């Protein structure tokens, strides 16, 4: 055998599918492994966007089009030694994460990890040293998630992980109030109010599959939420539930209502315009998430990274007594994506689908591994771009990193 044949055989043995576990070295690997493992209806639910899924692709592609301008010959050795060289402090000092990435709220984790569900995710957040935002549409009770989080914190006492609670405001305001009070009592440290979902969007994959929850689970924090059947033939049981139960009359006044029933910091999720960012700040929120709901609501809206600059600009222009955090989700798949979002003014990013792929592939450990991939990629990107510290673009014109990203000059 030639030397080439010897070497090629070694690699073939390493990579042949079916002989050993697939090689999982990036987020897309986890995506493909999860796709192979999950039942179609579940995978489609997690993956889908609205209508023709143009924004779903755009969320990812817009990040790719943004170009980095790396500086060289900069002393970046400390990033290797110091675990926390890129840590962030959020919500005016209340929260610390090892790097600027949080778990976005996503529904129904038990479809990915039947045994552990949201408890696996909470434990992974502790080990990853970051925030898990629990969805109202959780397949695990609020208190049970909190219990698991507490248990894990005892095992990993160095962790600064927190739980935040994502809230859908229901027509039944009393029920909503009790949800909020339960979350506060269970130790959740902030409320993340979804503002872009008066209805759920047209997710055609769910309609073709007549999406419904598997037999052995339900939305544990809501009532009559088995989601076993939709009214129409090709409709999602979840969309039906949402249409019947969510309050579609919500306005900015409802932030005042929320302030009356909770003292927790309030973050609004689903801001896509400078105008709404301004209204959010004026309504006194503690943070906003620039988000198009994973491209699952309205299709042909902008990608989130594309509207981040106008929103950062609008928010920072307003004088406030306390800082308003700006987060971004949608399409974050690489360490360079985190770098771009932060350099353009986000305090942190949220990731949604990658957590679910990690859960599906390996439960808690799978999620930890996915976060490790992001950490590793992010720190490498920070070093290779010549950033001695976190390239926070909060005041982009005076930021030492204003050189770092360049918007594409033209695009399709």
Q: How big is the CA angle at 408 (ends 384 and 381), to the nearest 5 degrees?
A: 15
**Residues 271, 283: Cα–Cα separation, whole Å:** 13
> What six digits make up the tokens of 374?
């992001």
- Contact call for residue 210 and a second copy (CB under 8 A): yes
**Residues 282, 30: Cα–Cα separation, whole Å:** 41
- Contact call for residue 61 and a second copy (CB under 8 A): no
Token look-up 């959740």 returns 188
- 269 marked ligand binding residue: yes
Answer for which of 106, 218, 221, 297 binds a second copy (CB under 8 A) is 297
- Contact call for residue 299 and a second copy (CB under 8 A): yes
Length of the chain: 412
- Contact call for residue 172 and a second copy (CB under 8 A): no
**Residues 294, 405: Cα–Cα separation, whole Å:** 23
- Contact call for residue 228 and a second copy (CB under 8 A): no
- 331 marked ligand binding residue: yes
- Contact call for residue 324 and a second copy (CB under 8 A): no
Judged by beta carbon, residue 270 or residue 366, the one nearer a second copy is 270
Q: Nearest to residue 31, comparing CAs of 281, 239, 332? A: 332
Beta partners for residue 246, in sequence order: 170
**Residues 217, 52: Cα–Cα separation, whole Å:** 30
- 296 marked ligand binding residue: yes
Q: For the purposes of burial, counting CB atoms within 10 Å of the CB of 295, is it exposed (0-12), middle (13-18) or buried (19 or more)?
A: buried
Strand 67-68 versus strand 405-406 pairing type: antiparallel
CB 337, min distance to a second copy, A: 20
CB 240, min distance to a second copy, A: 13
- Contact call for residue 32 and a second copy (CB under 8 A): no
- Contact call for residue 38 and a second copy (CB under 8 A): yes
- Contact call for residue 42 and a second copy (CB under 8 A): yes
Q: Return phi, psi of residue 156, to 5°.
A: -125, 70
- Contact call for residue 254 and a second copy (CB under 8 A): yes
Answer for which of 125, 170, 195, 356 binds a second copy (CB under 8 A) is 195
CB 105, min distance to a second copy, A: 16
Q: Nearest to residue 342, comparing CAs of 353, 328, 355, 330? A: 328
- Contact call for residue 41 and a second copy (CB under 8 A): yes
Active site residue 293: yes
- Contact call for residue 51 and a second copy (CB under 8 A): yes
> CA 364 → CA 1, 174, 241, 355, distances in Å?
44, 34, 29, 10
- 330 marked ligand binding residue: yes
Contact mark string toward a second copy, 265..294, x via CB under 8 A: ---x-xxxx-xx--x------------x--
**Residues 412, 410: Cα–Cα separation, whole Å:** 7
Answer for which of 10, 15, 39, 74 binds a second copy (CB under 8 A) is 39
Residue 155: CB atoms within 10 Å: 10
Q: Which of 79, 109, 149, 293 is catalytic?
A: 293
- 240 marked ligand binding residue: no
Q: For the purposes of burial, counting CB atoms within 10 Å of the CB of 106, is it exposed (0-12), middle (13-18) or buried (19 or more)?
A: buried
**Residues 132, 121: Cα–Cα separation, whole Å:** 8
Q: Name the binding residues.
A: 45, 105-107, 135, 166, 168, 194, 203, 269, 291, 293, 296, 329-333, 352-353
Q: Name the binding residues for FMN.
A: 105-107, 135, 166, 194, 269, 291, 329-333, 352-353
Q: Residues interacting with a second copy, by CB under 8 A?
A: 37-42, 51-52, 54, 114, 195-196, 198-199, 201-202, 204, 207-210, 214, 234, 243, 247-252, 254, 268, 270-273, 275-276, 279, 292, 297-302, 307, 410-412
């Amino acid at each position: 055998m030639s030397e080439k044949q010897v070497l090629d055989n070694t690699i073939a043995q390493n990579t042949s599918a079916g002989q050993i576990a697939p090689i999982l070295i990036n987020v897309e690997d986890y995506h493909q492994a999860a796709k192979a493992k999950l039942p179609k209806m579940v995978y489609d639910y997690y993956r889908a966007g609205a209508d023709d899924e143009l924004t779903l692709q755009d969320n990812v592609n817009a990040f790719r089009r943004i170009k980095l301008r790396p500086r060289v010959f900069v002393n970046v050795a400390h990033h290797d030694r110091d675990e926390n060289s890129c840590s962030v402090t959020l919500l005016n000092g209340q929260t610390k994460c090892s790097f600027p990435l949080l778990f976005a709220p996503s529904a129904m984790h038990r479809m990915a990890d039947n045994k552990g569900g949201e408890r696996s995710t909470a434990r992974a957040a502790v080990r990853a040293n970051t925030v898990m935002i629990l969805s109202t549409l959780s397949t695990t009770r609020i208190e049970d998630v909190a219990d698991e989080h507490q248990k894990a914190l005892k095992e990993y006492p160095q962790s600064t992980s927190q739980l935040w609670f994502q809230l859908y405001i229901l027509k039944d305001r009393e029920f909503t109030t009790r949800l909020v009070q339960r979350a506060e009592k269970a130790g959740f440290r902030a409320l993340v109010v979804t503002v872009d979902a008066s209805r759920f969007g047209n997710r055609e994959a769910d309609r073709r599959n007549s999406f419904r929850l598997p037999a052995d689970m339900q939305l544990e924090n809501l009532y009559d939420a088995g989601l076993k059947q939709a009214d129409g033939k090709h409709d999602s049981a979840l969309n039906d539930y949402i249409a019947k139960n969510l309050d579609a009359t919500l306005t900015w006044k409802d932030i005042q209502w929320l302030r009356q029933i909770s003292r927790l910091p309030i973050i609004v999720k689903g801001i896509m315009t400078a105008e709404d960012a301004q209204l959010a700040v004026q309504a006194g929120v503690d943070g906003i998430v620039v988000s198009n709901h994973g491209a699952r609501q309205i299709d042909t809206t902008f990608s989130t990274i594309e509207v981040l600059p106008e929103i950062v600009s609008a928010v920072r222009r307003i004088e406030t007594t306390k800082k308003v955090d700006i987060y971004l989700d949608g399409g974050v798949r690489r360490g360079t994506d985190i770098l771009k979002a932060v350099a353009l003014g986000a305090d942190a990013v949220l990731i949604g689908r990658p957590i679910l792929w990690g859960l599906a592939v390996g439960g808690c450990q799978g999620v930890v591994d996915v976060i490790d991939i992001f950490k590793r990629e992010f720190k490498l990107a920070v070093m290779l771009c010549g950033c001695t510290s976190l390239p926070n673009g909060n005041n982009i014109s005076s930021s030492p990193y204003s050189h770092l990203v360049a918007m594409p000059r033209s695009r399709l």
